[in-house]
């Protein structure tokens, strides 16, 4: 499965078979999580693999059933890009897991923070951003999961032109189309983009709460779909392009 196909088929899975994840996939996952590749310079996000049944331990308030493993996303809050980088790092793992036919679900709210803190032991200056549950999807979601999907309007995505202002600069369309499909807390889709010359500037409409983490998740999808060489950069005057939103970062094509 290509990463593009993974993005197209991925959806949050909340009901899992009570089976352990394939040992080879687990071995590669542990290896990838040992020193995950940071997506933005100067950032430190890490992922702790928690291998145990979640019910009763990493409580998920009945939202998740059957999963035997989850990943805790822990990061050091260095600057305004730390949560963005953390979202990118973890979503790359989510997309890899999807390519391995594993189901996943990000949880930002419905998990027991105290239990995850005990398992992940963050340093005093580290934060637990969220967890990602993984495993083999059950054949059918339970009622509580279907209610959650409906409540979050999970299948819906905003129209391309509501999110992205790229004028005639269609070179960015394929990558932005993948960004549009990214998961976000309560399906809020807080990411926006404006193209200007050889740059594309990214913004977040809800920088409080999980908005910057969500924006990082969207940027991981953009990066997966972008084949143009270039670099991530903070552009001095970009914030004034859309002062009503929080400027996040730009990608400058070479
Ligand atoms: C950062 C983040 C936090 C989330 N937190 C929760 C959560 O606490 N409980 C839950 O059931 N789903 C949670 N989700 C899943 C979203 O509801 C879901 O991704 C969104 O509705 C889009 O649906 P899809 O993933 O099936 O495409 C979260 C997703 C993200 C990205």
Right CATH number for 3-148 from 3.90.45.10, 3.40.50.150, 3.40.109.10, 3.90.1150.10?
A: 3.40.109.10
- Residues 37-77: tens digit of each pLDDT: 999 999 999 999 998 766 655 666 678 889 989 999 999 99
pLDDT in the model for residue 92: 98
pLDDT in the model for residue 149: 82
Judged against a pLDDT cut of 80, whether residue 154 lies above it is answered with: no
Give the chain as a 3 state SS string: CCHHHHHHHCCECCEECCCCCCHHHHHHHHHHHHCCCCCCCCCCEEEEEEECCCCCCCCCCCCCECCCEEEEEEEECCCCCHHHHHHHHHHHHHHHHHHCCCEEEEECCCCCHHHHHHHHCCCCCEEEEEEEEEECECCCCCHHHHHHHHHHCCCCCCCHHHHEECCCCHHHHHHHHHHHCCCCHHHCCCEEEEEECCEEEEEECCCCCCHHHHHHHHHHHHHHHCCCCEEEECCCCHHHHCCCCEEEEEEEEC
Q: Give the fold, CATH level 3, of 160-253.
A: NADH Oxidase (3.40.109)
Portion of the chain with pLDDT greater than 70, in percent: 96
Q: How confident is the model at residue 251 (pLDDT cuts 50, 70, 90)?
A: very high
Question: Per mean pLDDT, which range of 102-116, 160-174, 214-228 is the poorest?
Answer: 102-116
Ligand 1 centre to CA of 91 (Å) is 12
Distance CA 47, CA 70 (A): 10
Ligand 1 centre to CA of 81 (Å) is 21
Q: Which atom of ligand 1 is nearest to the CA of 181?
A: 27
Ligand 1 pocket test, candidate residues 185, 188, 209, 215, most atoms within 8 A of CB? 185
Q: How confident is the model at residue 111 (pLDDT cuts 50, 70, 90)?
A: confident
Residue with the bigger pLDDT between 203 and 19: it is 203
* Domain ranges, ordered by start, for the chain: 3-148, 160-253
- Residues 75-94: tens digit of each pLDDT: 999 999 999 999 999 999 99
Ligand 1 centre to CA of 185 (Å) is 5
Residues framing ligand 1 (Cβ under 6 A): 11-12, 63, 105-110, 130, 148, 152, 154, 183-187, 210, 213-214, 217
pTM, whole model, 2 decimals? 0.95
pLDDT in the model for residue 181: 97
Q: Which atom of ligand 1 is nearest to the CA of 182?
A: 27
Ligand 1 centre to CA of 184 (Å) is 6
């Amino acid at each position: 499965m290509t990463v593009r196909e993974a993005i197209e088929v991925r959806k949050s899975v909340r009901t899992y078979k009570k089976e352990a994840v394939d040992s080879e996939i687990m071995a590669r996952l542990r290896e990838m999580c040992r020193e995950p590749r940071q997506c933005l310079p100067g950032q430190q996000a890490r992922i702790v693999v928690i291998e145990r049944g979640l019910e009763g331990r990493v409580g998920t308030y009945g939202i998740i059933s059957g999963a035997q493993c989850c990943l805790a996303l822990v990061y050091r809050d260095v600057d305004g890009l730390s949560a963005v980088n953390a979202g990118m790092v973890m979503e790359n793992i989510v997309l890899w897991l999807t390519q391995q036919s594993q189901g996943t679900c990000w949880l930002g709210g419905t998990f027991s923070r105290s239990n995850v803190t005990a398992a992940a032991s963050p340093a005093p200056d580290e934060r637990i951003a969220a967890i990602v549950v993984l495993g083999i999807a059950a054949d059918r979601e339970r009622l509580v999961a279907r209610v959650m999907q409906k409540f979050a309007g999970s299948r819906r995505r905003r129209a391309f032109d509501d999110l992205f202002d790229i004028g005639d600069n269609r070179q960015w369309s394929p990558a932005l189309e993948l960004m549009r499909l990214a998961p976000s807390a309560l399906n809020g889709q807080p990411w926006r983009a404006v193209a200007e010359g050889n740059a594309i500037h990214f913004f977040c409409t809800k920088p409080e709460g999980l908005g910057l983490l969500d924006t990082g998740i969207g940027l991981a999808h953009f990066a997966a779909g972008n084949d143009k060489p270039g670099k991530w950069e903070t552009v001095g005057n970009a914030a004034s392009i859309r002062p009503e939103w929080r400027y996040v970062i730009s990608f400058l094509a070479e």
